Chain A
Amino acid sequence: MNNIIAMPMIIPLLTGIILVFLRHNTKTQRVLSILSSIGTVAVSLVILHQIQQEGILRLDFGGWLPPYGILFVADSFSMLLVVTTSIVTGILLIYAFSSIGQQFEHMFFYPFVFFLVAGVNGSFLTGDLFNLFVCFEVMLLSSYVLITMGGRKVQLIESIKYVTINVLSSWFFLMGIAYLYGTIGTLNMAHLSVRIAEVGQGPLLTVISLIFLIVFSLKAGLLLYFWLPGSYSVPPTVIAALFGALLTKVGMYALFRVFTLIFYHEPIITHTAIGVMAILTMIGGSVGALAYNDIRKIVSYNVVIAVGFILAGLAISTEIAFQGAIYYLIHDMIVKALLFLLAGTMIYLTGKTKIEEMSGLIRNYPALGWLFFITMLSLAGIPPLSGFIGKVFIGQGAIESGSFALLIVAFASGIFVLYSLLRIFLNSFWGETIINEDDDVPLKRGMLVPCILFAIMTVAIGIGVEALAPYVSDAARTLMNPEIYIEAVLQGNR
């Protein structure tokens, strides 16, 4: 019995509920939310450590044994993501304190952030496909609220697209679950895996797997990313950072889980499809990142490129590639949050959104300029920053399995990432300053500190990768060998 593994979902959920009652009490809301974030991080670290000692942990809700009950399963892969999610949220909350404003704080901003985190952590932890759907919905409903919060006209325009596409994909998700239950008769992921291995993944099951591919691609922004740049560039900075850092990652996690644990018997169809989609995503994302002059659009397209890059790791499907993908997932959550914060801070300071309208920012705000420089290098994968190790492993996996098309596109996309960010750097930070000494907006310390914390994390992960390695290799080993997961969940009673 491991009640502790439900805590990364329960703590945020409970905090969110309590904060609803403290609507007008801003100060208490802030204190409670920081305490709760620290608590979640601590609990998640304990669980991650415990997994290394005792193997994969599971918790049967209400004592109902699998495959009949619903359960949470914590393996290294999901816990690494839960830990990163909790840390990123905590730091983003610090940024929110100084930027989001009274109006949002009174309109249930903090509760919905916590409901979002509860949904995200729940999705990472659940061992049941229908429960995954429920956690997805918890996350999406909170994101609907957060994206419309403030109610500006552009937000409402983009949120209609966002809500429509997500309701549609949720419907597809539900349909896929119904098909799967109709053919296999179970929804426990480990049990599904066992039964599909027994009956063989025939054409019918492969088609069902493609439905799941479409659903999760919509959520992750794999090829079907048309909704993403618009809706990620309208909400306030901290909400956009939360979306950019967390939401697509949940879709990617689901893709990894489903196509390594359940539908891994027909890689020629499913994994090739993922590979082709990843290539197209990286190309499309690169074109988008270069095409726009709006800094928020450039940053959003950078999210798209990363999605393609990480799922290239899934398409290659070797242990090395999985390791690379996991490293890159962790790195991307941190650095994308940082990138969105920096972009938002630049817009806050200048009041402009186009890169050619800003100039010489590094003279007025040197710290901001250097932080952007670090972010750029980290995203490009320059050692010793955190992006490097993931790229190396994915590259190594691609060479070993002979997927040269993926290799070339993946590394070319890195150059486009670098170029698109260099364009921002050259246009906005270099050159003559347009802000004179008298009327420059002071950079609040509450905005700078979170950015510095993220920058420290990306450097620390890059340098201290050795400390992270045992967790990541354990996670990749579990992804590669589904029997470990199945054995931990079913423990022989199939």
Chain B
Amino acid sequence: MKINDVILQTVTKIVVFIILTFGVELFLSGHNNPGGGFIGGLVLSSAFVLLYLVHDIETVHKGIPFDFKKIAALGAFLAVGTGIGSVLFGNHFLTQAAGHFNLPVFGETELSTVLVFEAGVALTVVGVVVTIISTISEDV
């Protein structure tokens, strides 16, 4: 029996973007406020899980043709890489640096290497959560 889920699909189309935006917002606000890579990553991955629930796995894979295991590995690489980076500059392992830059659109902006580290964390969380959920769903 085919379930009629037109409403769910239509709502999802909008809600997924709200969730993704919220995830990025959480991720960025983590620099000085509650939030950060882990929580942001969890919210981002909940958007993907919602897509999996509403559509079937094949459809989602057609739209997002990434291997999420590799995304997790990429994230871990970024996080460890920032640590190694500080070693290359002759500082203690995992030392983070920050500086103020004048960017064309944003104006005076603070950029920091923590952002890269946190991006790594977020990618790892997204990769791992989506891999776990999709593996369980393949099993049933």
Give residues in A with beta carbon < 8 Å to B: 1, 3, 6, 10, 13-14, 17-18, 20-21, 59-63
CB nearest to A61 among chain B residues: B94
Partner of B96, one of A3, A6, A59, A62: A62
CB <8 Å contact, B93 and A59: yes
Given A3-B87, A21-B73: A62 touches B94 (CB 8 Å cut-off): yes
11 contacts across the A-B interface (CB closer than 8 A): A3-B87, A3-B92, A6-B83, A10-B93, A14-B80, A17-B73, A17-B76, A62-B86, A62-B93, A62-B94, A63-B95
Given known contacts A1-B91, A1-B92, A62-B93, what 10 new A-B pairs fall within 8 Å (CB)? A6-B93, A10-B83, A10-B84, A14-B80, A14-B84, A17-B80, A20-B69, A20-B72, A21-B70, A63-B95
Residues of B within 8 A of A62 (CB): 86, 92-96
CB <8 Å contact, B80 and A63: no
Within the complex, what minimum Cβ distance (angstroms) separates B20 from chain A?
25
Report Cα–Cα, A356/B93, bound state, in Å. Answer: 55
Partner of A63, one of B83, B84, B87, B91: B91
Report Cα–Cα, A18/B59, bound state, in Å. Answer: 29
A-B contacts at CB below 8 angstroms, number: 43
Within the complex, what minimum Cβ distance (angstroms) separates B92 from chain A?
4
Report how many residues on chain B are interfacial, defined by Cβ distance under 8 Å: 17
CB nearest to B67 among chain A residues: A23
CB <8 Å contact, A61 and B93: yes
CB nearest to B78 among chain A residues: A17
CB <8 Å contact, B96 and A13: no
Residue B48 interfacial (CB < 8 Å): no
Residue B52 interfacial (CB < 8 Å): no
Within the complex, what minimum Cβ distance (angstroms) separates A18 from chain B?
7
Within the complex, what minimum Cβ distance (angstroms) separates B90 from chain A?
8
Most buried by B among A1, A3, A62, A63: A3
Partner of A18, one of B69, B77, B83, B84: B77
Residues of B within 8 A of A60 (CB): 92
Report Cα–Cα, A1/B76, bound state, in Å. Answer: 24
Within the complex, what minimum Cβ distance (angstroms) separates A293 from chain B?
36
Residues of A within 8 A of B86 (CB): 62
Residues of B within 8 A of A17 (CB): 73, 76-77, 80
Give residues in B with beta carbon < 8 Å to A: 69-70, 72-73, 76-77, 80, 83-84, 86-87, 91-96
Residues of B within 8 A of A3 (CB): 87, 92-93
Residues of A within 8 A of B69 (CB): 20
Within the complex, what minimum Cβ distance (angstroms) separates B47 from chain A?
24
Report Cα–Cα, A21/B76, bound state, in Å. Answer: 12
Residues of A within 8 A of B93 (CB): 3, 6, 10, 59, 61-62
Closest 3 CB pairs of A and B: A20-B73, A63-B92, A61-B94
Residues of B within 8 A of A21 (CB): 70, 73
Report Cα–Cα, A63/B95, bound state, in Å. Answer: 6
Within the complex, what minimum Cβ distance (angstroms) separates A97 from chain B?
22
Within the complex, what minimum Cβ distance (angstroms) separates A73 from chain B?
14
Residues of B within 8 A of A63 (CB): 91-92, 95
Most buried by A among B70, B72, B84, B93: B93
Within the complex, what minimum Cβ distance (angstroms) separates A316 from chain B?
37
CB nearest to B83 among chain A residues: A10
Residues of A within 8 A of B73 (CB): 17, 20-21
Most buried by A among B72, B94, B95: B94
Within the complex, what minimum Cβ distance (angstroms) separates B91 from chain A?
7
CB nearest to B75 among chain A residues: A17
Report Cα–Cα, A196/B76, bound state, in Å. Answer: 37
Residues of B within 8 A of A61 (CB): 92-94
Residues of A within 8 A of B94 (CB): 61-62
Report Cα–Cα, A14/B83, bound state, in Å. Answer: 11
CB <8 Å contact, B95 and A10: no
Report Cα–Cα, A17/B120, bound state, in Å. Answer: 12
Residues of A within 8 A of B95 (CB): 62-63
CB nearest to A71 among chain B residues: B92
Partner of B80, one of A1, A10, A20, A59: A10
Given A10-B83, A13-B80: A20 touches B92 (CB 8 Å cut-off): no
Within the complex, what minimum Cβ distance (angstroms) separates B130 from chain A?
15
Report Cα–Cα, A266/B65, bound state, in Å. Answer: 60
Report Cα–Cα, A442/B93, bound state, in Å. Answer: 49
Report Cα–Cα, A110/B96, bound state, in Å. Answer: 31
Residues of A within 8 A of B91 (CB): 1, 63
Report Cα–Cα, A471/B92, bound state, in Å. Answer: 27
Report Cα–Cα, A3/B91, bound state, in Å. Answer: 8
Within the complex, what minimum Cβ distance (angstroms) separates A373 from chain B?
44
Residues of B within 8 A of A1 (CB): 91-92
Report Cα–Cα, A59/B93, bound state, in Å. Answer: 8
Partner of B70, one of A10, A14, A20: A20
Within the complex, what minimum Cβ distance (angstroms) separates B61 from chain A?
18
Within the complex, what minimum Cβ distance (angstroms) separates A324 from chain B?
35
